Amino acid sequence: MSTTMQTYIDEAEKALLHTYNRYQVVFDKGEGVYLYDIEGKKYLDFVSGIAVFALGYQKKEYNDALKAQIDKIIHTSNYYYNLPAIEAAKKLKEISGMDRVFFTNSGAEAVEGAIKTARKYAYLKDGTTDHEIIAMNHSFHGRTMGALSVTGNAHYREAFAPMIGHIQFADLNDFDSVASLVTDKTCAILFETVQGEGGIYPATKDFMRRVRALCDERDILMILDEIQCGMGRTGTMYAWQRFGVKPDVMTTAKALGCGVPVGAFLMTEKVGAHSLAAGDHGTTYGGNPLACAAVCKVIELFEKENVLDNVNKTGAYLENRLDELVREFACVKQRRGVGLLQGIVFDRPVGEIIKRAMDEGLVLINAGTDIIRFVPPLIIKEEHVDEMIDILRRCIREAEGERQ
C-alpha cells in the first residue's frame, strides 16, 4: 500500500469512531461492477455495498435523475406532498402488491416502524399493551434499540440491555418452535424471508405457509424483513413472492435507492386502516424528494433492463460455479442461498481468504465468521462470475497451501 493510502487510513482511525474493523483500502469510484481505490487499483465487486448498488456504479440514467432532482428540490417535509414521493409510493405498491407505504431513511428505521405498527394494531384490538413479538434466532434487523431487540444474536444485544420487552426467539423453518411461543398477547411473527447477516438461511415454503395460516387463525401480523433479500435479489421483486403467501407488513431498504439512503415499511389496507394514524409516527427526512427520485428511477430501471431475468439466469450460473468449489475443496462444506444472495460455508473463519481476495482485486464479504457471502450487483454476467471464481479458487488454494 502507498504511504498516501496509509496516511488517509491513519487519519480515518483518528477521527471515526472505531465501530468497524475495516479492510485496508480507500475506495474512490465505481464503474459498472468494478470499484477503484484511490491509487487506481481495480476490484471486481461481489458485495455492492452490502446488497445496495444493484444496478452497478455510474448508471447514467440513475445519476442524471438524481442530478435533475437536486436542481429542483432535495427536501421539503412530510407535512407537504411532493411528486417523487407520490410516484415512488405508487411504484412500490405495484412491485410489492402491498397497499400502504411509509418511507424511512434506513433499514433499521423500517423495522422500527413495522414493530410500532404491530403494537398499535394489537392495542387497537384489545386496549392493552405488553404485546409480544416472535422473532428468529440468527436474524438481523438493524442496530437501533427496537431493531436490535428483535435481532437473534445475543452478542449484538448483550451490552445494550434492557431491550424492548416481550420479544421471544424461535428457529426459522421450525414451525413448532414458533407455534409453541404463541400466546393471546402475540402481536407479530417477524423474520427475514432469507436470513442474510445470520448466515444465508432461506425460509422454506412449508414454513412460510404454516406461519401464514397461524397468523390468519390468531389475527397475528406476519412481518417479513426484505431489506437484504428483497429488490430482486432472489429473482422475484420480493423474496416472499415465490411462495404464494403475502405478509401483512414488510420492510425494504438497501437496494431500494441503490445508494441513496432510503427504506420503507409497507402494509396491507387492513393493517393500514387499523394501526398507525396521524401523529403516531413521523420522520424529517424519510421519503424526501431526492430519496424518492432515486426509488422511482431504480424501479423503472429494474423493469426496463429486465433485472429479474438476469438474476434468475446469472444466479443459477453462480450456484453451479459455487457448487464446483464445494466439490473441489474439503474446507468448503456447503452452499446456501437463492438467486444472487448466496453463501459458501467453510470449516474455519474466512477472514484470511477475504483479505487475500482483496489483494487480488476481488471484493467479498463474510456472513458470520465461517461463511463467504455473495451479494453482487444484480447486473453481473456469467463472465464476471467466472472472473470471481478464478480469483477465489486461487485464494482458497493459497490459503490451503499455507496451512500444510
Ligand X SMILES: *Cc1c(COP(=O)(O)O)cnc(C)c1O
Residue numbers at the binding site for ligand X (CB under 6 A): 106-108, 111, 140-142, 192, 196-197, 225, 227-228, 253-254
| Residue 186 bridge partners (DSSP) | 132
Decide: 105 and 264 in contact? Cβ < 8 Å.
no
Distance in Å from the first CA to the final CA of the chain: 28
Name residue 270's amino acid. Answer: K
Using CA atoms, how far apart are residues 371 and 393, in angstroms rounded to an integer?
15
Q: Spell 246-271 as b/e; 16+ CB within 10 A means b.
A: bbbbbbbbbbbbbbbbbbbbbbbeeb
Grid coordinates given for 339: 438467486
Residues 6+ away with beta carbon under 8 Å from 81? none
Angle at CA of residue 342, ends 337 and 348, nearest 5°: 105
The Cβ of residue 309 has, within 10 Å, a number of other Cβ atoms equal to: 10
CB of 152 to ligand X, least distance (A): 11
Q: Compute the residue count for the chain.
A: 404
Residue 225 Cβ, how far from ligand X at the closest point, in Å? 5
Q: Hey, what amino acid is at 355?
A: K
Q: Which is nearer to ligand X, 30 or 107 (CB)?
A: 107
Shortest Cβ distance from residue 239 to ligand X (Å)?
11
R_g over Cα of the chain: 21
Shortest distance in whole angstroms from residue 104 CB to ligand X: 9
Q: Which is nearer to ligand X, 120 or 141 (CB)?
A: 141
> Which is closer to ligand X, CB of 231 or CB of 392?
231
* CB nearer to ligand X: pick between 231 and 385: 231
Shortest Cβ 49–ligand X spacing (Å): 11
Minimum distance of ligand X from residue 121's CB (angstroms): 21
CB of 241 to ligand X, least distance (A): 17
The position carrying cell 438474476 is 311
Three-state SS string over 128-139 comes to: CCCCEEEEECCC
Beta carbon of residue 72, minimum distance to ligand X (angstroms, whole number): 26
* Shortest reach from residue 273's CB to ligand X, in Å: 26
Question: DSSP character for 186?
Answer: E
Q: What does residue 194 show for φ and ψ, rounded to 5 degrees?
A: -130, 120
CB of 253 to ligand X, least distance (A): 5
* Residue 199 vs 395, nearer CB to ligand X: 199
Question: Are 322 and 344 spatial neighbours (Cβ–Cβ below 8 Å)?
Answer: yes
Q: Which is nearer to ligand X, 106 or 342 (CB)?
A: 106
Nearer to ligand X, 261 or 315 (CB): 261
Q: Are 139 and 251 in contact (CB under 8 A)?
A: no
Smaller CB separation from ligand X, 66 or 223:
223
DSSP string, 327-385: HH-TTEEEEEEETTEEEEEESS--HHHHHHHHHTTEE-EESSSSEEEE---TT--HHHH
Q: At what angle do helices 289-304 and 83-96 cross, to 10 degrees?
A: 40
Q: Which is nearer to ligand X, 233 or 356 (CB)?
A: 233
Q: With respect to ligand X, which residue has the nearer C-beta, 37 or 225? A: 225
Q: Which is nearer to ligand X, 119 or 141 (CB)?
A: 141
CB-based closest residue to ligand X: 107
Minimum distance from residue 151 beta carbon to ligand X (Å): 8
Residue 80 burial by Cβ neighbours in a 10 Å radius (0-12, 13-18, 19+): exposed
Are 259 and 53 a contacting pair, CB within 8 Å? yes
